[in-house]
Chain A
Amino acid sequence: MAAAAASKPFKTGLKQVYLPDHVITFCRPTRQSTLPQFATFKVPLHFNKLDMRDYLLHAYSVATLGVRSAVMRQPVARNPITRRVQRPPAIKYMTVELQKPFVWPKEPSKEERKQWHDEQTEKRVELQEKQDQQMKNYQYYGRLVDPAAEKRTADRTALAKQARDLVSGAAKWDNRRELDPKWTES
């Protein structure tokens, strides 16, 4: 009895769905601060919180304490076939609070990545990505480099470091000149 209560900690829906065909995607937490007690899923737009809760319980026997839902609107894009400007359908994400925490397995290391990509492919992908970014910058700003990315030059970085050292007291201010005897340091 206690086991049954533990496996079904809340009242579930009564509608029986025999052949569901929606696809649920488990998403890796993107932020460092996301706690292991939370899990995010990409779900179909027609899914609601109760559906999600019951789905996880019945299909995966995962008990949840609460569900949060968010619908992400997609940016306007050109249809690659018709060339019309349209907005792709929104994406619904649901974050559930788990009863038992779950930590994602580690992603493949650089060495393990070779099982997918050899060195050449890796380089090709990098180059392609760079070119895509340049193309995008050109369309937005009329130049290949994003001005926001340009702002932080090495000069600026060095200046900021100097200022930080001065404030923290790591470096003392000095203009390499003898102080006039008329002036005294207070």
Chain B
Amino acid sequence: MAASAPIRSSIGRALQPASRCPVTTSSLNLPLRVSWSSPPNTASFSTTSSLGERRPTRDNNRLRGLSSIYRSGTKGRMAVDGFATPRPADYKPKITTDPNHGLWDFFYARDKALPTPEEDSQHGRAWIVEELRHKSWEDLHRLWWVCVKERNRIATATRERRRMKLVVGEDESKTRNYEIWKTMKAIKHTLTERYYAWEDARELAEKDPEIDLSGEGNPYTPRDYMEEEMEQLALDPETAAQQGEEKFMEEKPATESIDPSSLPKTEQPQSSPRV
């Protein structure tokens, strides 16, 4: 009942049509195509026809399976070669890209792979540090991400331009990229400045008795600016009475206010007689 392997293979050989047999030994023997159209009104055999664009041999070797020593001829790919087997329908689905696909952000327009030099050169200047000093962290962060995506867009267009061997447009693209680079530098500059300011403020706060950096309770308890003086008054009323006599913005004698060094020199009586 169970035929041995060699017998089975020879039966398979015998079952194949005569045209399939390696009669011609020419090296230019092309594999015979069995034309077989699937019967109408049936589902396609396979949905992977788009993968059928691959090369028939995986290593692109035209002579795979051929041997000049053994005169083997072309090897059959499958035991069913030569029989009318159903073939996958030659069907390639039409792909429509979603107009809101996220990858469109790598392009300037939906219908264009790369911008023309004129379009590329239509840009303004970079943001400067002075402008960015007035922006919040949220704004700066958003601007940073705009820059990141723009750089990706430029890199994609540059690669495409080089692939198509377009030499014009490189300079415009570089200039555009440079402006973005400058903006990113300015953002970093602003944030660094802000960080230094924060560091200095912290140092001051550590010395300030009004500020509590422990993180518990109210961090800032403002003290009344008269507080110290009121305490002094409570301690020694005598000096307070003295101070009370001095009137606010009282005119003082002019001699007191004048700096003696600024006065003209007066003749000083000589204490020691001249010899």
* A-to-B contact residues, CB < 8 Å: 18-21, 23-28, 32-33, 35-36, 39, 42, 56, 59-62, 98, 100-108, 113, 115-117, 121, 125, 129, 163-164, 167-168
- CB distance A18 to B159 under 8 Å? no
Is B275 an interface position by the 8 A CB rule?
Answer: no
Flag if B30 contacts A107 (CB, 8 Å): no
Contact at B160–A107, with CB atoms within 8 Å?
A: yes
Chain A's closest residue to B111 (CB) is A105
Of A25, A32, A105, the residue contacting B152 (CB under 8 A) is A25
Which chain A residue lies CB-closest to B52? A33
Q: In the complex, A7→B130 CA distance in Å?
A: 38
Pick from A26, A60, A121, A164: contact of B156, CB under 8 Å: A26
Question: Given that A18-B141, A167-B28 are known contacts, is A107 also in contact with B113, CB under 8 Å in the complex?
Answer: yes
- Which residues of B are found within 8 Å of A36, using beta-carbon distances? 95, 97
Q: Which of A25, A32, A107 is in CB contact (< 8 Å) with B53?
A: A32
Residues in B neighbouring A18, C-beta threshold 8 A? 141
Among A19, A26, A103, A167, contact of B144 (Cβ-Cβ < 8 Å): A19
The verdict on B4 contacting chain A, using a C-beta distance below 8 Å, is no
Total chain B interface residues with beta-carbon distance under 8 A: 51
A164→B29 CA distance, assembly (Å) = 9
- By Cβ-Cβ distance, the 9 closest A-B pairs, closest first, are A60-B102, A62-B102, A26-B106, A25-B155, A33-B53, A115-B116, A26-B156, A116-B166, A61-B102
B147 and chain A: residue at smallest CB distance: A21
Contact A33 B30 (CB under 8 A): no
| Total residue contacts A-B, CB cutoff 8 A | 109
Minimum Cβ distance to chain B for residue A164 (Å):
7
**B30, A167: Cβ atoms under 8 Å?**
yes
Q: Chain B contacts of A117 at CB under 8 A?
A: 166-168
Q: Given the complex, which residues of A lie within 8 Å of B220, measured CB to CB?
A: none
Complexed CA–CA distance, A158 and B50 (Å): 33
> Which chain B residue lies CB-closest to A104?
B113
Residues of A within 8 A of B202 (CB): none
Contacts of A59 in B (CB 8 A): 145, 148-149
Within 8 Å of chain A (Cβ to Cβ): is B110? yes
- CB nearest to A164 among chain B residues: B28
Partner of B159, one of A25, A101, A129: A25
Give CA–CA (A27, B257) in the complex, Å.
83
Residues of B within 8 A of A42 (CB): 155, 159
Q: Is the CB of B103 within 8 A of A102?
A: yes
Interface set of B (CB-CB < 8 Å, partner A):
24, 26, 28-30, 50-51, 53-54, 95-98, 101-103, 105-107, 109-114, 116-118, 141, 144-145, 148-149, 151-152, 155-156, 158-161, 163-169, 184, 187-188
Residues of B within 8 A of A24 (CB): 152, 155
> Which residue of A26, A33, A61, A101 has the most chain B CB atoms within 10 A of its CB atom?
A26
B51, B53, B54, B106 interface centre (most CB from chain A within 10 Å): B106
Closest A residue, CB atoms, query B163: A28
Q: In the assembly, what is the distance between CA of A103 and CA of B167, in Å?
A: 26
**Given A108-B164, A164-B28, A167-B28, A35-B50 contact (CB < 8 Å):** yes
In whole angstroms, what is the CA distance A100 to B95 when docked? 10
State the CA gap A62–B152 with chains docked (Å).
Answer: 15
> A residues within 8 A CB of B155?
23-25, 42
Q: A103 to B148, Cβ gap below 8 A?
A: no
The answer to whether residues A108 and B101 also contact, given A42-B159, A129-B165 and a CB cut-off of 8 A, is: no
Q: Given A26-B152, A33-B53 in contact, is the A121-B101 Cβ separation under 8 Å?
A: no
A167 touches B103 (CB 8 A): no
Across the interface, name the chain B residue whose C-beta is closest to A30: B163
What are 17 pairs between A and B in contact, CB < 8 Å?
Answer: A23-B155, A25-B158, A26-B103, A26-B156, A28-B113, A33-B53, A60-B102, A62-B102, A101-B95, A102-B97, A104-B113, A105-B107, A105-B110, A107-B160, A116-B117, A116-B166, A116-B168
Report the minimal beta-carbon distance from A24 to chain B, rounded to whole angstroms: 5
Whether A113 and B112, one on each chain, are in contact in the complex, defined by CB atoms closer than 8 angstroms, is no
Query: Distance (Å) between the CB of A23 and the closest chain B CB?
Result: 5
- B113 nearest CB neighbor, chain A only: A105
